[in-house]
Every structure is written in C-alpha cells, then in structure tokens.
Structure 1
Amino acid sequence: MIRPALALMLSAAPLAAQTADDTPRIAVMSAFQPEWISLQADLEGAETQTINGTEFITGTLSGQEVVLFLSGVSMVNAAMTTQMALERFDIEAIVFSGIAGGIDPALNIGDVVVADQWGQWLETVMARQVGDGFELPGFLASPFPNEGMIFTRETTVASDRGEPETRFWFPADPALLEVAARVAEATDLADCNADNDCLTEPPQIRVGGNGVSGSSFMDNAGLRDWLSTTFEAQVVDMESAAVAQVAWANQVPFIAFRSLSDLAGGGEGENEMGVFMSLASENSAALVKAFLAEMP
C-alpha cells in the first residue's frame, strides 16, 4: 500500500517536469562541445534550465527564438534528448549541427553535407554463416545487399499518421533544404583551424544526397566502401538518423548540417578527426547560424 505522502510526491514530480515553455522555438542540437560552445557565443538573452541531467539554453540566435542542447553521442542519447525537447518546448523545427565521417570519395575533410534523408545502417541482423556465405532466417528480410554477416533492415515506426510504417529513410524537410541551398551559395567556410592546420582543398557545401547513422564509430575502409555503394551515402555519423526518425514520428521539420572531420577510415594513416574536429565544428556552427538568419 502506498502511503498518502508518498503518493503525493509521486504525482507531483511528473507535473513539475512537464511544465511547458510555450514560446515557439527552433531546436538547435549539437553532439559535441565545440559546436555547442560556438553556437552559445552568439546567443542573446540566454537562460539555462536542466531537465533530467540535460542542459537546455533558450534565447535568440541569428534573429530566431531557439533552444540549444547537446544530443549526447550515439543513437539512443540523440533520440532521448530530441523527444524530451519536443515534450518540454514548443518546437517548430529541429536543426542539427555536427561533425561526420566522409563516405563519398568525391568529398574532402572540411566539406559540409546537408543530406536529403537519413537511414540507420546499423539496424541489422548479424546472420549465420552457411557454407561460404551468410543467410538470414526465413522470417527476416533485408532490402539491401549484405556486407558479410551484416544485413541492414528497415525500422517500423508508430506515429499519428496511422498504422505503424516500416521504412529505412527519414527525410529532411524540403522547405528547410531550399533555405540551406540558398545559404550554401552565399557562405564561405574556413580552411584552417586555430592551430593553423589547413585543408588541402577549399571546403565545399553539398546540399542533397544520403546520410547514414549507427552506434559505431566508423574507421574502416571496407565498410566505408560498402556504405557508399549500398546506400549511396555521402556521410556517416552516430546521431542524425535517430533525430530524423523522432522528428518524422512527431511530424516536426528537420534538417542536419554535418561537417566532415575525417574520412571514416578512407584516409591514409590515423583517423583525421583529432586534427580537424575543431575546424569542422566551427564550420558547421557558422553555417547553421547563417541558415537561421535566412529562415522566415
């Protein structure tokens, strides 16, 4: 039997956590501290609140009412914080700023990709070996060619659209992509970081194409090639597809800006992220600020 005092505590705690901020805002998310710090530097009227251990900072950025927060690294953290923000704030759109690994061989470190759609490449079956190959159980299927024992599967998502829907790709918002394309034409990106480590090629902005995400840091040339050919992916990261799925399920416009800090195992020598993460973060944040200024 629950005592009356305890019952009162249990009922009151959720109400306090669900007190809503009814100002329409754009959620600006980052995965890492560098983008987070860069975005905060230009935030006006900043006010911070902590919800379930996550800091949310409201204010005005590039003329827009926003709420800034870190997604946390990897898929579950990103999905959790996105849904928490949607339940606590009046979110009109979700804008993600972050770094990524380059998959398309035509891209270079420092380039920024704003993908049309995102999918979870690591939503998989690890199939059993049969002879010289690998086979799925008869009750499972994959729409994509496998890579050894790895068979990527689609995800079934429930939402207010109707019956649960099985799909792989979750789209960025077409209207937001149009704004990004205009901003890309007018924005120049930095090609050297604070330590004067410079890129060999001037960074470019590519709006369009595919992005994939999974809870695994990608630093393998063979898997990189498979992601390129199988999903026609431009970039790989550890959060965007999760955020895109939550945004789709809640019918909230979404877009992600991902600046390449490394080549996901495609470069020579050690992974390049340790050198170029700061440059990629600054470029992604700068592009997001220009994008916010151009939004209606």
Structure 2
Amino acid sequence: MSLVVPVQGAETLDDAPRIAVMSAFGPEWIALQEALVDRVDHSLNGITFATGTIEGKPVVLFLTGVSMVNAAMTSQLAIDHFNLESIVFSGIAGGVDPSRHIGDVIVPAQWGQYLDVILAREVDDAFVPPPFLEAPFPNHGMIFPQNVTVARDGAEPEDRFWFPVDAELLAVAEAVAAEIDLLDCVPDNQCLTHAPGVYVGGNGVSGAAFVDNAAFREYAFETFEAAVLDMESAAVAHVAYANEVPFIAFRSLSDLAGGGEGANEMGTFMGLASDNSAAVVKAFLAALP
C-alpha cells in the first residue's frame, strides 16, 4: 500500500498575470532591463526576478544561467512562484542553416534536445547502440540522439523529441518580423556582410555543449533541419510543455557554430546579436493583445 501525500503549493511572489522574459546571461538582457518600467526585484534561490512592464505588458525579467539544467531549474522556479501567462526567451545562438547569417534573429516553431544521446560502442568498425534503446535519428560517430520522456499532469509519460512553441505567439512574431530594423554594425564599426533579418518557423536544437565545429554543424543541419542551436531553449520548451505554459524563443546569431571562416566571431558580435534579439522581443511584446 502506498501513501500519497498532498503537495503544498509554492509561495507566489507576485499575483499579477505576467509574461516571463528570460535570457541566459548578462549581455543578453541589458537592453531588456533598460526597457523595464516600474521595476521591483524579488530574490529567490540566488536569482533576481525583476517585475515591471515592457512596452506596456506586465513581465517578470530574469536570467536562467547558461546550460540546460540552469534553464530548466530557473524556468520551473518562475512557474512555481509567479502567475505566468507565457514564457519568452531572448538570447544569442549559433547559426546552423547555411542560408542564415550573423545578426539574423531566428524564431523556431519547435525545439529539440539533440544532445540527449547514446554514446555507442564500436563493433567491427561501426558504432552500434544497445538493442534495447531506440535511436530515432542518424548518428554522428558514436553519438546517437534519443527522444526524452516527459511527464505531465493528468497524462501518461510520453517520449518525444520536438517541443512546439505556442502557435498564437508564433503568429504574433511572424506579424512583426517584417517591421523590425536590426543592427548591422558594432560600436567600433565592424559590420556584418549581410543585412540581418527575422526568420520565423523551422527547427531549433539545444544541448549541453558550445558548438564550434563545422562537421558537427553540418550534421545538425542535415539531421534535424535546424536553423539554430543553443544551450537552453529546448530545456525551457520542455518545462513549459510539461506545465502547459505557452512558450516562444527568439535567438539572434552571434556566430556560425564553426561554419564561418577563421575564428569564432561570438566575441565580436555577441552584443549586436543580443540587441537584435531584444529589439524583436520588445516589438513582439508591443504587438501582443
């Protein structure tokens, strides 16, 4: 016989219905903090949650910290302690689609955790995953991506790879995409070779690795048809899906994940990409009903 103990609800730090607007690390949320009006800070588990309004919409603004675990943990904290209507991620990422360029803002329709993997043994000059584990995608050497198991209230656990963003939020993003003017030069006059744009739809992938490898970038594009990869968005999409909270992510390309000529350019264009993502998010918030 098992005993089911009722779980007490978490303390709500702010009762107002709000949109969670999150970024992974400091440079990504500078422009968003500057746009925050009537700021009030709340501290929880070492995280600062700043409430106020951006473009007239009630928000709670915070940093998740870099990494899938940090992103998932902080997202769940926000869901547990605030009255969230939706979750919006703003940040930088690596470009995977060869037709996209640094400075572009990518708004995928779905996200997958592509580095939840089997590391397979080598047998007769081939990598072979264990027969009791499913490997639904082609491998990259010993790396075989898997689905993840998701538990939701009132439903049986399910195995899935893709976590969709909210269709209504995506439609708003698409409506504002053509109206945004994006930065194409950094303060020391280093400029992009292509005018940046906003691209809505398609796939994004996330995992616990900073990717700066041309061969792996090509694999991610061919296998998942991914336009972008990062280290947080799919984890937040997973948490939002499990909690039935609408989610969308805006990611501006700071580098090409190893696909560019010469050294990785994130250090040069990180600020520009952060500002471009924030500009689209602010326009998106302004356009929300």
Q: With structure 1 as the length reference, what TM-score do the two structures score? A: 0.94
Q: Deviation string for 1:96-117 (max 9, x for gaps)?
A: 0000000000001111100000
For the residues of structure 2 that align with 1:120 and 1:164, how far apart are their CA atoms?
Answer: 17
Aligned to 1:104, what secondary structure does the other structure show? coil
Q: Would you tell me which structure has more helix in proportion to its own residues?
A: 1
2:148 to 155, 174, 179: 155
> Is the CA contact (8 Å cut-off) linking 2:12 and 2:80 kept in structure 1?
no
| Residue 270 (str. 1) matches residue 263 (str. 2) | yes
SS of residue in 2 equivalent to 1:41 = helix
Contact in 2 for aligned 1:17/1:51 (Cα 8 Å) = no
- Kindly state the Cα deviation for residue 178 of structure 1 after the two structures are TM-superposed: 0.4
Name the amino acid aligned to 1:153: Q
Give matches, 1:1-296, under 5 Å. 18-296=11-289
CA distance in 1, matches of 2:118, 2:232: 20
Give, in whole Å, the separation in 2 of the partners of 1:34 and 1:191: 17
Moved more, 189-198 or 53-62: 189-198
- Deviation for aligned residue 1:193: 1.5
Q: CA deviation at 1:160?
A: 1.5
Note if contact 2:176-2:284 (Cα within 8 Å) is conserved in structure 1.
yes
User: Which structure has the larger Rg?
Assistant: 1
Q: Deviations over 1:176-212 (max 9, x none)?
A: 0100001101111111122221101000110001000
TM-fit CA distance, 1:291: 0.4
Supply the distance in 1 between the matched residues of 2:10 and 2:86 (Cα, whole angstroms).
22
Residue 186 of structure 1 aligns to a residue in which SS? coil
The alignment covers a number of residue pairs equal to 283
Per-residue CA deviations over 1:218-271 (Å, capped at 9, x if unaligned) read 000010000000000000000000000000000000000000000000011111
Gaps of 5+ in 2: 1-7
Q: Following TM superposition, by how much is the alpha carbon of 1:161 offset from its aligned partner in structure 2, in angstroms?
A: 4.5
Amino acid at match of 1:234: A
Distance 2:9 2:36 in 1: 27
